[in-house]
Amino acid sequence: MKPPKDFRSVFTPADEPYLGTPMLQQFDKMIVVLMDHHQLIGPWTRANELNDLQLAACQLVPQTSSLLLGMREMIRQAYLLPAAIMVRPIIERVATLSWLCENPEGVDLWQAGWKHGHRPSLAVRMESMIRTKKFPIEEAAAARQHFNSLIHGDPESADMGAMVQDSGEAVYTVSKDLESPARVSDLALQGAMYSIALMACSAECFPSLPLLQAESEGEKDHPT
């Protein structure tokens, strides 16, 4: 079967299929601010002696940002199931940094390898995000279970790869999903929210950067 005439094997920022989706625009704005944070943090970390929490942040913040950027590119290319799966490791890292900010004595666990059975559970770490208001969604357990489902590939996860064709027939896509704007909006919301949470953690880890504090305060009005 031939692809439609307007099919793109690779989309660009100028022609991506969900261009103009309001929540996706919010996600893009948060990415810009997040990259600005890196411009501030990077030089400061190379010019100052870092404490143990800051050293952990230097590992967690860049890789989480890279995952967020990767998630955004998957949305651009309309690979929505891979984009959704990327949310789970993003949650893991943001929740870890949030817990370390709240429990700096726990950095010893991080330095010891953050081993399973010794580190706090993800549920406990996510609770720290809610307590410190880095994450406004109270249904943390439901979110955790949903994204765990995507990782483990159980029957519930199949719904994320389903789409409805113009004919009304429901199918499971193996490639790009060009027909799910609501799904994109939800993914973009997740991306924007965890970008904000990550920036809040960064501000806690590097309190001597006043501009970073000001930017973090400005992002407290979470996208809705």
User: Is the model's pLDDT at 45 over the cut of 90?
Assistant: yes
Domain-located, residue 9: no
Tens of pLDDT along 141-166?
677 777 878 887 887 777 777 777 77
Full domain range(s) for residue 113: 51-212
Q: Is residue 223 part of a domain?
A: no
Question: Does residue 172 register a pLDDT over 90?
Answer: no
Structural domains of the chain, count: 1
Q: Which two tokens stand for residue 97?
A: 């940094």
Domain assignment of residue 75, yes or no: yes
35 found inside a domain: no
Work out the average pLDDT over 29-52.
94
Is 101 inside a domain boundary? yes
pLDDT at res. 216:
58
* Residue 59 maps to a domain: yes
HEC sequence for 71-106: HHHHHHCCCHHHHHHHHHHHHHHHHHHHHHHHCHHH
- What pLDDT does residue 152 have? 79
Instruction: Compute the mean pLDDT over every residue in the chain, rounded to the nearest whole number.
Output: 86
Q: Are 209 and 44 in contact (CB under 8 A)?
A: yes
* Residue 143 lies inside a defined structural domain of this protein: yes
Could you tell me the pTM of the whole model?
0.86
